[in-house]
Amino acid sequence: MLARGREAGAWAASQPATSPAGTSLIRLDSNENAAGPCAASVKAIAEATQRSHVYPFRYDGVLEAAIAKRQGVSPANVLTGCGSSEILLNAVLAFTDERRSLIAPVPTFEEPARRARQLGRPVHDVPVGADLQVDLDAMARLVPDAGLIFLCNPNNPTSVALPLDRIRSFVTDALARSPDVVILLDEAYIEYADGGGVASALPLALASPRVLVSRTFSKMYGMAGLRVGYAMGQPALLQRLAAWSLPMSVNTIGLHGAIAALEDTGLEARERARNAEARAFTVQRLEALGAKVPTSHANFVMADIGRDCIAFRDACRAQGVAVGRPFPPLSNYSRISIGTMAEMRTACDVFTSVLKA
């Protein structure tokens, strides 16, 4: 359950890939990019299969250089991993212990907190507010006892995001409260950010020796199955994180697909527009049904459907649409990934049928 591409977890893994009627499911349950990799990546992936016998170390530093060029940083500011999951889990190993806790919102991407608990390390869960936004003030009060603060922005599963000025103020305050704490800002969905001052915190990571930003090729770049991610920050902090890295954790095929994606400079704008159109359509249909949908800065929405989300999930699946699992304590909210426009038209017809039943 470490991969972001398996966010639906063990429950989904145990379910058939078809609906009870025998038709293929529309998968809107794991925030996967239904558009898939760009054409350049598909070509590079196909060609790289001919090099599957070659160890990834033959291409040591090539992906880091490509990321650095795209992000305007030095290769020394980049550490790659097997999806951003490796980055997040290794941060728990590197920066928490039996005394230094992990601070994280609830709900958020669960793997850091899950790993900390497996290791017997303290975890402080901070519930999001009624508006689904992260409670930065409550997190700040816990900083003196923390080794690592995990902040996913935009947040998964709530879809909302904090503007950069609030992130900056929080980071400044947290670093002043503790001489040891490390702040990990997970930006798996930042490329989908839709105004409102929401932007990457990379400048903060480059300026501070205790701030990291993590990214992934799983979402915007449509490569969830190839497991390529990375962290950016100051070299000394990345070296502390790299001490826990698996050797050659990015595979030969994945790194070539990622490099090709970075070279397609129009990809992000195209995908952002495609996602925004399908997302706006979905929000309009859901709100017409009485659902309340916070502003999403991601490739999914978190809709307050006004009823039990498990019953809604099961009813949708019976009609061929898989939506997200429950995210306690948000029992009336359903996380719905954004697929293609054709998929969302069909899915919204199913949502109408279920919510009007």
Range of the domain at 55: 39-263
Q: What is the CATH number of the domain that holds 79?
A: 3.40.640.10
Percent of the chain residues past pLDDT 90, beyond the cut:
92
Shared-domain flag, residues 151 and 289: no
Is the separation of the CB atoms in 255 and 45 below 8 Å?
no
Give me the pLDDT at residue 2, please: 34
Give me the pLDDT at residue 19, please: 53
Q: What is the pLDDT of residues 178-226, one digit of tens each?
A: 999 999 999 999 999 988 899 999 999 999 999 999 999 999 999 999 9
Shared-domain flag, residues 309 and 191: no
Q: How many CA atoms lie within 13 A of 72 on its CB side?
A: 4
Helix pair angle (235-242, 83-95), 10° resolution: 90
Shared-domain flag, residues 54 and 184: yes
What backbone phi and psi angles, to 5 degrees, belong to 70? -70, -35
Shared-domain flag, residues 229 and 156: yes
Give the bridge partners for 103, in sequence order: 124, 149
Is the separation of the CB atoms in 229 and 217 below 8 Å?
yes
The pLDDT-based confidence of 357 (bands split at 50, 70, 90) is confident
Q: What's the whole-number mean pLDDT along residues 132-159?
A: 96
| Average pLDDT for the chain | 93
Q: Which of 263, 289, 307 is the last residue of a domain?
A: 263
Give me the pLDDT at residue 11, please: 42
Poorest-confidence range of 4-8, 64-68, 151-155?
4-8
Q: Which of 227, 248, 263 is the last residue of a domain?
A: 263
Give the bridge partners for 151, in sequence order: 185
Six token digits for residue 44: 């590079």
Give me the pLDDT at residue 73, please: 97
Q: What is the pLDDT of residues 226-266, one digit of tens each?
A: 999 999 999 999 999 999 999 999 999 999 999 999 999 99
Q: Which of 232, 263, 294 is the last residue of a domain?
A: 263
Q: What's the whole-number mean pLDDT along residues 339-343?
A: 96
What angle (nearest 5°) sits at the alpha carbon of residue 257, between those of residues 251 and 260? 140
Q: What is the CATH number of the domain that holds 14?
A: 3.90.1150.10
Q: What is the pLDDT of residues 286-323, one digit of tens each?
A: 999 999 999 999 999 999 999 999 999 999 999 999 99
Give me the pLDDT at residue 341, please: 97
The pLDDT-based confidence of 1 (bands split at 50, 70, 90) is very low
Q: What's the whole-number mean pLDDT along residues 159-166?
A: 97
Give the bridge partners for 127, in sequence order: 106
Q: Select from 184, 285, 234 the least CA-distant residue to 79.
A: 234
In terms of DSSP bridges, do strands 211-216 and 182-186 run parallel, antiparallel, or are they unpaired? parallel
Shared-domain flag, residues 142 and 15: no
Q: What is the pLDDT of residues 78-121, one digit of tens each?
A: 999 999 999 999 999 999 999 999 999 999 999 999 999 999 99
Shared-domain flag, residues 55 and 201: yes
Shared-domain flag, residues 93 and 211: yes
Which amino acid is located at 342 in the chain? A
Give me the pLDDT at residue 194, please: 85
Q: What's the whole-number mean pLDDT along residues 325-339?
A: 96
Q: What's the whole-number mean pLDDT along residues 338-342?
A: 96
Q: What's the whole-number mean pLDDT along residues 167-186?
A: 96
Shared-domain flag, residues 162 and 257: yes
Shared-domain flag, residues 195 and 317: no
Give me the pLDDT at residue 3, please: 36
Give me the pLDDT at residue 23, please: 60
Give me the pLDDT at residue 10, please: 45
Which amino acid is located at 178 in the chain? S
Shared-domain flag, residues 156 and 29: no
Q: What's the whole-number mean pLDDT along residues 145-173?
A: 97
Total domains in the fold of the chain = 2
pTM of this prediction exceeds 0.85: yes
Shared-domain flag, residues 257 and 272: no
Q: What's the whole-number mean pLDDT along residues 15-26?
A: 64
Shared-domain flag, residues 15 and 92: no
What backbone phi and psi angles, to 5 degrees, belong to 111? -60, -40
